[in-house]
Amino acid sequence: MLNFVSSFKSTVFYFMKKAKVLFVSQEITPYVEANHHSTIGRYLPQGIQEKGKEIRTFMPRYGLINERRNQLHEVIRLSGMNIIIDDTDHPLIIKVASIQSCRMQVYFIDNEEYFQRKALIKDADGNFFEDNDERSIFFCRGVIETVRKLGWAPDIIHCNGWMTAALPVLVKKVFREDPIFADTKVVYTLFDDAFGNELNKKYGQKLQMTGIHDKDIEKLKTPSHINLSRFAMDYSDGVIQGSSSLPAELQKYMKNLNKPVLGFQDPENYIEAYNNFYDLVMEESTALVE
């Protein structure tokens, strides 16, 4: 009986504290063109903040973003470290801007080699950038290192878009002993954002760090959008269908997951559903711990 009371009290305390949600998005308007994906990236964090949760928001600093117009500025205290990918050092630069209408800050992961080009993932001729694999890895690791510097321990990391697909395995395998991420749960949203190509065949190899083994990245031997999505789902604690339609292969894989799954939500009412889903993921995880 005493154990039950103790567990109940710890659960109540867990939900009395202000939950922290880290949003990591491939696109956010108004910094990139408005579409279904970037609109969610913009308004979901605001809605969750208005629901009483504490938030942080990250996206890549694509070269097409006008820094003067959007008032981006470098955060010197967070910049300055290097991230090694495929035995090469890449300087990490952190910038920040504010969306004044909702008092929301957006952090930008920047690097001159990866993000100075005036495009997202394809060049002016529609060619998929050959280094999109490294750009994705750099972005995900840059988010991790910046959050560590901030000393801000998220309860939920919500990953949006294939460029965030490496984050779940980094949190679960590489940084699981780090106090910042020890209790963090990961939610991954699937979008109909297939890139039509495969990433570099060495993507899995470049992603490997202490804690990630060959068996962990088996799906990445063929780094297609389908396999990248499956890989991200495997290491997430909850999955959301962010687009009204998805490839049949992903629909089937999602249905067979032994973890919370949220189906596609009406764009007019999705914030309430997402907020409840975060609570569900945290509640299930607390129950497992107890």
Domains assigned to the chain:
21-289 (3.40.50.2000)
Q: Give pTM, 2 decimals.
A: 0.92
pLDDT at 285: 54
pLDDT at 17: 78
pLDDT at 12: 47
pLDDT at 16: 61
Own/partner pairs for 82-91, CB < 8 Å, 24+ apart? 83/138, 83/141, 83/142, 83/145, 85/134, 85/137, 85/138, 85/141, 85/206, 86/134, 86/202, 86/205, 86/206, 90/114, 90/138
pLDDT at 196: 81
Residue ranges of the alpha helices (H) in 29-100?
A: 36-50, 67-70
Let me know the angle formed at the C-alpha of 6 by 151 and 52, rounded to the nearest 5 degrees.
45
Decide: 194 and 60 in contact? Cβ < 8 Å. Answer: no
pLDDT at 287: 40
What is the mean pLDDT for each group of 10 consecutive residues in the chain (290 residues)? 42 66 97 95 96 97 95 95 95 95 94 95 92 97 97 98 97 96 97 90 94 94 96 98 95 95 92 97 60
